Structure 1
Amino acid sequence: MNGNQIQGLIGMVLTLGILLLLVLPSAVGAVRERRIDRQLREAGKRAGREQDQKSSSRSTVPSTATWYADGRRSKKFVSS
């Protein structure tokens, strides 16, 4: 190998190294996102199964805060 070939090889290796340093964070982030998505999917499946088991026959009644807020919303004035 002569001097020009060695310089070309060094330049190519440095260019590929810089490219790798630029791409690596996004690749790590993508892998992390996929792992989090998989965990959320599994947790959703587990929550769905638990919800089926914990079904209650009692009906839900709105809280006092909900009744108060509904009353306040209906008294808004409309400017013409």
Structure 2
Amino acid sequence: MSTFLNYLTVLALAVLLLGPSLYGMARERRIDRQLRKAAAGRSTVHTVQKSSSRSTVPSTAT
């Protein structure tokens, strides 16, 4: 029974030490995927749009 508790203690310590790191890595990968998706969406929209959507009316201010 003592050996089982030793293994359980080591496992609990490993989870406590590695858990936050693994969670952070998963979060970073999720953010990277979102950024790549947003960049891909922006590049397709950017190529479709004209360089300027405003009309070029001359200014009458003096």
The TM-score bracket by the shorter chain reads 0.7 to 0.9
Gaps of 5+ in 1: 1-5, 58-80
- Quick one: which amino acid aligns to residue 35 of structure 2? L
Alignment: residue pair count? 52
CA RMSD of aligned residues (A): 1.3
**Which runs of at least 4 in structure 1 moved beyond 4 Å after TM superposition?**
none
Structure showing greater Rg: 1
- 1:36-79, CA deviations, whole angstroms, 9 ceiling, x for partnerless residues? 0000000001110111111327xxxxxxxxxxxxxxxxxxxxxx
Q: Percent identity?
A: 37
User: Could you tell me the TM-score, scaled by structure 1's length?
Assistant: 0.60
Matched, 1:41 2:36: yes
